[in-house]
């Protein structure tokens, strides 16, 4: 049996092992973050932080080309070509889960902190009013977002952040940024509205730190942004939270929406309108729909049962955080 056959056959036990780990998160909690992943992150950061371009995006392109070629060869109906394809998938599967993917199976923040999956309207109302107050307070302190050095932000987090090589392609998939597990690079689409950049950068930072759950990464991005010394960065964090919470109002209490928007500073209203107008140009196209469908399947296969809707769960984390901290007096 040659080496390619061994790699191909190894795919089955790998899948079984990953499914076993999925049902036994304590294995990951006890060993993976502090031992294997932390060292992989250090090595990748040491290597790829020295290169200004996102090596991972180039690697993705190479992997896609190889995959297309191997799939094409399979239709020659030769056993060796099928073995080559399975061996390739097996190697990529192993590297993905070893380098980062096992973070999907850690015990979640929601479970550790006993955060509810739902909330009372009063809790949403108080949290949203608090966010409105905070974001209005930031408006007089804002500088021009175009003058903000977003790379300076990353230096405070040791984040290996790169500008995407294909920003327009990402826009048509409504993707603001992505983390590349193979190289531990956080790749940001700098063509998105500048107001979104700080919280997107911190979202990808959370992924780099091993938080795979999208809602948890968004929550950590929010927390790091609002605790910044920079008013623009804080504004970005509150703005992102505001959009998520207003979306909850729009879904479940639409008749109350105007009551909240009427309390917002005109600058905030203008930024909301611009944000909606900007993303409406790129949403619901063919690339966006295909990407969302594939990514939804990907998330569901990696322990995020809500799929792409996992992003929306950040509202629960924000509400619960303020319930326990700054807003605790409103809930007694």
pLDDT on residue 49: 87
Query: 279 to each of 214, 283, 288, how far by Cα in Å?
Result: 20, 6, 11
For residue 127, which of 321, 295, 268, 298 has the smallest C-alpha distance? 321
Look up tokens 């977003």; give the residue.
Answer: 150
pLDDT on residue 264: 94
pLDDT on residue 332: 39
In the chain, where the domains are located: 3-105, 109-331
- Per the CB < 8 A criterion, the answer to whether 40 and 98 are in contact is yes
Alpha-carbon span 263 to 270, nearest angstrom: 13
| 3-state DSSP helix/strand/coil % of the chain, to nearest 5 | 70, 5, 25
Return the SS3 of 77. Answer: coil
Question: Which residues does residue 163 pair with via DSSP β-bridges, in sequence order?
Answer: 188
Regions of the chain short of the pLDDT cut 70: 1, 79, 116-117, 151-159, 286-288, 292, 295, 298, 303, 306-311, 325-332
Q: What is the pLDDT of residues 39-86, one digit of tens each?
A: 999 999 899 988 989 999 999 999 999 999 999 988 877 768 889 999
pLDDT on residue 253: 82
Query: 202 to each of 158, 170, 302, how far by Cα in Å?
Result: 11, 18, 22
pLDDT on residue 30: 84
For residue 258, which of 249, 267, 266 has the smallest C-alpha distance? 249
């Amino acid at each position: 049996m040659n080496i390619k056959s061994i790699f191909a056959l190894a795919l089955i036990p790998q899948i079984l092992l990953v499914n076993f780990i999925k049902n036994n998160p304590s294995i990951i909690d006890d060993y993976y973050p502090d031992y294997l992943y932390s060292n992989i992150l250090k090595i990748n950061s040491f290597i790829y932080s020295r290169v200004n371009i996102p090596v991972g995006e180039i690697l993705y392109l190479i992997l896609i080309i190889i995959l297309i070629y191997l799939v094409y060869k399979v239709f020659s109906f030769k056993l060796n070509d099928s073995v080559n394809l399975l061996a390739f998938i097996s190697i990529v599967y192993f590297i993905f889960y070893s380098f980062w993917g096992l973070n999907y199976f850690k015990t979640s923040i929601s479970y550790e902190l006993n955060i509810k999956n739902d909330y009372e309207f009063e809790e949403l109302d108080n949290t949203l009013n608090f966010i409105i107050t905070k974001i209005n307070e930031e408006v007089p302190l804002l500088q021009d977002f175009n003058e903000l050095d977003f790379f300076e932000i990353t230096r405070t987090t040791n984040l290996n952040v790169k500008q995407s090589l294909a920003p327009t392609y990402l826009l048509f998939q409504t993707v603001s940024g992505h983390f590349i597990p193979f190289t531990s690079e956080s790749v940001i689409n700098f063509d998105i509205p500048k107001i979104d950049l700080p919280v997107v950068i911190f979202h990808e930072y959370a992924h780099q730190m091993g938080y795979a759950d999208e809602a948890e990464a968004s929550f950590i991005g929010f927390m790091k942004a609002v605790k910044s010394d920079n008013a623009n960065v804080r504004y970005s964090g509150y703005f992102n939270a505001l959009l998520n919470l207003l979306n909850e109002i729009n879904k479940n209490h639409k008749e109350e929406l105007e009551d909240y928007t009427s309390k917002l500073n005109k600058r905030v209203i203008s930024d909301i309108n611009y944000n909606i107008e900007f993303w409406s140009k790129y949403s619901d196209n063919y690339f966006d729909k295909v990407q969302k469908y594939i990514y939804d399947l990907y998330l569901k296969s990696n322990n995020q049962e809500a799929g792409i809707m996992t992003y929306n769960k950040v509202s629960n984390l924000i509400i619960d955080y303020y319930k326990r901290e700054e807003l605790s007096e409103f809930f007694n």
